[in-house]
A and B are shown apart, each in its own frame.
Chain A
Amino acid sequence: MRPALPELPLFFRALRPRAARAFLSVLGIGAAALLVLVLLGARRSLETGVVAIAGPPDLDLWIAPRGTDNLVRASGSLPPDAPKAARAIAGVARADPVLRTFVTVEAGGRERRHATLLALGVRGPDGLAGPAHLVAGRRPSGLVEVALDRAAAFRLGVRLGDPVLAGGRPAIVVGLTRDTNLLATQVLFFDLAAVDDLEPASFVAVRLVPAADASSVARQLEGALPGTEVFTRANFVKASLKEATSGFRPLLVLVSALGLAVATALVALLLQGLVEDRRPDVAVLLAMGSPPASLAGALVAHAARLAAAGSVAGAALVPLLALALDRLAPTVELSSHVADAFVVLLLFVAAGAAGGLVPLARLLRVEPVEAFRP
């Protein structure tokens, strides 16, 4: 019995394009894949930030004004006594107010810099919903202390201990946080201790006693606090993610589609030239009895391999780019993820295979009789 296509590796070799052209095509495909991966990495980073501020592990429920289901875009406020009323419900271990607002922060000497940040006021240095990940310093305590996302500190050119003006009031940077970069803005934390229960809060963060039934406590809270809605941490995170990434998705889809189109075109262009160049070789192979399906398979597999090489090269550059951005421009954070790289690899391989269809049509029109008279 005839062995199954033992000549396939040789077909690959026979159809191998010139190295320089192939390298440039792989480079182009890699750039397209990198573009898609950068967007995916930026979205991952945004998601990480949203999860960190909307779903810190120290709370179980969020109480929000009715009509508000997320931390990204909130409106309205809760009654000043909402935290106190919440604490009175059985099963609630702790209920802290959280004030969400935007604040313009100024810093620097002669060259003033300013940035508008998402400010979260939490109760004291151990208040619920405070900064989950500090990279330096500590949580703010008292009226004159703030903790900033490290990318915001980069934008403002400030370090730990530097003075800033937050909303026109003097403050000192006592902490730098991570996972609090929402790309369009970053997060600033301040202490609500001075205003406490007397000022209306945007939200109340609730921690339950161990073994308390979250849904039962949520129903009781909604009953005790008219005009509010209570969300589990998971639901609040989900809604916040939806709000934060909704504008990102169309851009991601568009850029991904363009990147895939570029990869398809590059592969098609390279292999079309290859088939034209190697037309006499193809005719010789066909005359010698090579099955057209084998040549077609080799060509499409070759196309897919080119695309795979490009996307692997692109994926390999993401960690390096992320590292460089972290050093040089931390406002653009990239969270590389193996699953993203795998999905991009599959998509680009499919795009490459699709790109192989155009030269395939050309290859299948080559007549074996051409071998006698090139």
Chain B
Amino acid sequence: MSTVLELRGVSKTRGEGPRATQALGHASLSLSKGELVLLEGPSGSGKTTLLSLAAGLLTPDRGVVLLCGIAIDARDPVACRARRRRDVGFVFQRPSLLAGLSVRENVLLAASLAGLSRDRASAETARVLESLGLSRLAERRPDELSGGEEQRVAVARALVHRPAVVLADEPTGSLDAAAGRAVAHTLAALARARGAAVLVATHDDRLGCFACRRLRLLDGRLQVEKAA
């Protein structure tokens, strides 16, 4: 399988001077197309830093991040944004849907940002909402949705433009067991259907059954991978 995301010896220090702490130390990982990988670890272990580096939102102090084989560098924000629009989907902790937009518009925005034509963006939006059984909620506002529905819409938004990689940060963190399972299932199934690699930062052990691999971060250091 082809590698779509690769971190090679990436380090990141947060803060300056005596308060500087190493948020991530010499981390290396790779994700292949269609793969779902869990990134586990306690709070403050560096999961969010790793996701931010992978998305090009932060610049590593050392090492390199390759997205679809091409280095991504936050010091070139224009190119970085273009890569994110096209190649990356995000599932943030809820609430992350834009409050002023309907469900359909939230998803459509990601498709438009990715550069899809108006017609294609509309068609892809309709298709992804249909495939997740969310069409009936299309004109609702985020504050009219349950937590689980909201995160399923976030999954649709992350995958509508068929990105190479989805970066998900605690996607089930604030959901009850049933809703969390439904969201995880949705994310895994849709990513597989659309050929995206998924890196999920989570505390939630229940996601293990959906993962191909599980990585563990401790004090900014990636531990040896264990099979899911």
Contact = CB atoms under 8 A, between A and B. Distances in A.
A371 B92 contact: yes
B113 A288 contact: yes
Contacts, number: 80
Interface in B19-63: 48, 51-52, 55, 57-58
A168 interface: no
Determine the main DSSP class of A at the interface with B. Answer: loop
B179 interface: no
Contacts of A281: 98-100
B226 interface: no
B133 interface: no
B101 interface: yes
A109 interface: no
Interface string A1-20: 01100110010011110000
Interface of B: 48, 51-52, 55, 57-58, 78, 81-86, 88, 90, 92-93, 95-96, 98-101, 105, 108-110, 112-113, 115, 117-118, 121, 169
A367 B48 CA distance: 14
Give me the 7 closest cross-chain CB pairs, A-B, nearest first.
Answer: A289-B85, A289-B84, A2-B115, A289-B81, A7-B112, A14-B100, A14-B98
A290 interface: yes
A234 interface: no
Interface string A336-374: 000000000000000000000000000000011101111
Nearest to B92: A371
A165 interface: no
B117 to A, nearest CB: 7
23 contacts: A3-B112, A6-B118, A7-B112, A10-B101, A13-B100, A13-B105, A14-B98, A14-B101, A16-B100, A280-B96, A284-B92, A284-B96, A287-B84, A288-B84, A288-B113, A289-B83, A289-B113, A371-B96, A372-B48, A372-B51, A372-B57, A372-B92, A373-B48
B117 A288 contact: no
A288 B85 contact: yes
B109 A7 contact: yes
A369 B85 contact: no
A44 interface: no
Contact of B109 (A10, A15, A287, A372): A10
Given A14-B98, A284-B92, A3 B109 contact: no
A288 B86 CA distance: 9
A76 interface: no
Contacts of A13: 100-101, 105
B99 A3 contact: no
Contacts of B51: 372
A284 B92 CA distance: 8
Tier of interface size on chain A: 20 to 34
A35 to B, nearest CB: 32
B136 to A, nearest CB: 21
A6 B57 contact: no
A302 to B, nearest CB: 11
Give the residue among A14, A16, A368 with the most B Cβ atoms within 10 A.
A368
Given A10-B105, A285-B98, A289-B81, A371 B90 contact: yes
Contacts of B92: 284, 287, 371-372, 374
A238 interface: no
A181 to B, nearest CB: 50
A223 interface: no
A287 B57 contact: yes
Contacts of A373: 48, 93
Contact of B82 (A14, A287, A289, A368): A289
A278 interface: yes
B99 A278 contact: yes
Contacts of A374: 92-93
A6 B121 CA distance: 10
A287 B55 contact: yes
Contact of B57 (A3, A291, A369): A369
Given A372-B48, A374-B92, A374-B93, 12 more contacts: A3-B115, A281-B99, A284-B90, A284-B92, A284-B96, A285-B98, A287-B84, A289-B85, A289-B86, A289-B88, A290-B81, A369-B57
A285 B110 CA distance: 9
